Amino acid sequence: MTRRPAGLSADLARRVRASGLDPDALVTVLDAALAEDLAGGEDVTSVATVPAQAPATGVLASRAAGVVAGLDVVEAVLERAAGHPVSCHRDVADGDTVVAGQRLAIVSGRARDLLLAERTALNLLGHLSGVATLTRAWVDAVAGTSAAVRDTRKTTPLLRALEKFAVRCGGGTNHRMSLSDAALIKDNHVLAAGGVVAAFQRVRAAYPDLPVEVEVDSVQDAVAAVEAGADLVLLDNFSLEQLAEAVARVAGRARLEASGGLTLENAAAVAATGVDYLAVGALTHSAPVLDIGLDFAEPGRPGGARWD
């Protein structure tokens, strides 16, 4: 297996960092994914059929309409597989809307390296683009209102940063990244503390500088949480009438987030009640994969694969 450098190349690391991702964390995930694919051995099919130094050019294209997210990730997978920077010419950028059949990028390098990276790259690109595509559908559904579409912690283990990046590509907004950067008081916390206000007061006393969101299931509890000083209130499984009442009674003193029972069909109506956010776990836990393929140019054609 190719000996890989410690991290990404400087230019790619800079671009990854600019997109809000940690290059070192990304390398850890990608190396683990490539190692999983090899399972301690080698790509037996490619070793048997492709000369070691044969070059190839691959065309990355979307087979369905959607929103692209993860092109830096693809380049990073290719770089980790090759052990050095690779040629990647992009026709689109993350966050762009594409149509079926549209070319996304052209990649070049050793054929074996491209083949090693292919499935990991496509798995991640298709998944992240699927998240971005679904997010854009929700964002479009609430267009014309002041509400933002926000993700949750219902993410794939170890892929949270990437999935939340994809949400941003789709025009959505991120909720907290972890249990430590903001507090979210849910029903079990309320039960343990003995009430909404008591739970809020304990969190505020322990972590005075962190934002605190409180989940409630009644308008009365929403008002109580705001009067106790909550920055944000999560309105769980409220009807449209309850949402509108909560907005009226809170009267701008805190931000309000609707959660539970949300669909693309009712998103506009929920946003029209005046809430600030729609919390949509489906963005990350139920997004269909966007079908994207990587095909080598045919041998003998300009830029095509050559097996001699």
Active site residue 213: no
Evaluate whether residue 31 is within a structural domain. Answer: yes
Q: Do 16 and 97 share a structural domain?
A: yes
Evaluate whether residue 5 is within a structural domain. Answer: no
For residue 201, pLDDT beyond 50: yes
Q: What percent of the chain has pLDDT over 70?
A: 95
Q: Do 223 and 117 share a structural domain?
A: no
Evaluate whether residue 1 is within a structural domain. Answer: no
Evaluate whether residue 2 is within a structural domain. Answer: no
Helix H or strand E encompassing 166 = helix 160-169
Q: Do 123 and 155 share a structural domain?
A: no
Evaluate whether residue 3 is within a structural domain. Answer: no
For residue 302, pLDDT beyond 80: no
Q: Do 119 and 26 share a structural domain?
A: yes
Residue that wins the pLDDT comparison between 164 and 308: 164
pLDDT on residue 125:
98
pLDDT digits (tens, 9 = 90+) for 233-243: 999 999 999 99
Q: In this structure, what DSSP letter does residue 4 have?
A: P
Evaluate whether residue 303 is within a structural domain. Answer: no
Active site residue 112: no
Nearest-angstrom CA–CA distance, 229 and 244? 21
The pTM of the full predicted model, rounded to 2 decimals, is: 0.94
pLDDT digits (tens, 9 = 90+) for 58-85: 999 999 999 999 999 999 999 999 999 9
The CATH number covering residue 46 comes to: 3.90.1170.20
pLDDT digits (tens, 9 = 90+) for 205-232: 999 999 999 999 999 999 999 999 999 9
Side-chain half-sphere of 284: how many Cα atoms within 13 Å?
28
Residue 3's pLDDT band, with cuts at 50, 70 and 90, is: low
For residue 127, pLDDT beyond 60: yes
pLDDT on residue 305:
46
Q: Do 95 and 202 share a structural domain?
A: no
Q: Do 257 and 173 share a structural domain?
A: yes
Q: How far apart are the first and last CA of the chain?
A: 22
For residue 306, pLDDT beyond 50: no
For residue 149, pLDDT beyond 60: yes
Q: Do 195 and 98 share a structural domain?
A: no
Neighbours of 285 (CB within 10 A): 15
pLDDT on residue 206:
97
Mean pLDDT computed over 278-284: 98
Q: Do 168 and 233 share a structural domain?
A: yes
Active site residue 236: yes
Q: Supply the range of the domain harboring residue 206.
A: 142-285
pLDDT on residue 297:
85
Question: Token pair for residue 118?
Answer: 């292919």
Q: Do 147 and 281 share a structural domain?
A: yes
Among the options 151, 221, 231, 236, which is catalytic? 236
Evaluate whether residue 166 is within a structural domain. Answer: yes
Among the options 17, 153, 154, 202, which is catalytic? 154
Which residues are CB-neighbours of 271 under 8 A, at least 6 positions away? 141, 142, 145, 146, 147, 278
Q: Do 110 and 15 share a structural domain?
A: yes
Question: Token pair for residue 191?
Answer: 């039960």
Task: Kindly report the average pLDDT of the chain as a whole number.
Answer: 94
Domain count across the chain: 2
For residue 170, pLDDT beyond 90: yes
Residue 5's pLDDT band, with cuts at 50, 70 and 90, is: confident
Evaluate whether residue 304 is within a structural domain. Answer: no
Residue 307's pLDDT band, with cuts at 50, 70 and 90, is: very low
Q: Do 87 and 146 share a structural domain?
A: no
Active site residue 163: no
The CATH number covering residue 250 comes to: 3.20.20.70
Q: Do 185 and 128 share a structural domain?
A: no
Q: Compute CA distances 180 → 100, 157, 273, whole Å.
A: 41, 16, 31
62 neighbors 98 (Cβ within 8 angstroms): yes
237 neighbors 217 (Cβ within 8 angstroms): yes
Active site residue 164: no
pLDDT on residue 90:
98
